[in-house]
Amino acid sequence: MKFSFESLDFSEYSGGSYLMDFGEMSSQKDAAIVEGKLLTAFGSPAETSENYENSFNYVIRATANDGHSVMLNVYGMGVVQIGASQSDEITMQAAKALVKYVNAFKPTDYERTVYYLDFGLQIDIQVKNGKAKITQSQISEDKVNELFDKFYQ
């Protein structure tokens, strides 16, 4: 079954839960490359955050060639994962087709900083010319507390 994909805003999404990983990722660099490919395929995500555990979210409508559609949520939690409100055969087919579709793109160059509060880390992510560079540095306990209040108010 063939699918087309459309990026939507969060008002179109009624929620869901983890469905599958977005392919195999053995490092943060792999996740950064996938994020760059998502930027190429769909532009800016519906939502972004400096919180490493919820760094971006895309809401994607996958429409099959027979007209049936499902809603998928692609999100960054260190790795990239796909969520959905249902876990039936067509949703799994759509999710697998989405991974294949996105992986056919070249990653867009980007830079951003996220914070992994569990370990007190600042993570600087850069994708340039198809290569990812990840730099980690410790942040102070005061900065962790400030960011915790910002992320979890």
Buried b (16+ CB within 10 A) or exposed e, 124-141: ebbbeeeebeeeeeebee
Distance CA 119, CA 7 (A): 33
Please give the model's pTM, rounded to 2 decimal places.
0.93
Structure confidence by residue, pLDDT tens digits, 54-87? 999 999 999 999 999 999 999 998 899 999 988 8
Of 45, 50, 53, 38, the C-alpha closest to 13 is: 45
Structure confidence by residue, pLDDT tens digits, 18-38? 999 998 888 899 999 999 999
In three-state secondary structure terms, 16 is coil
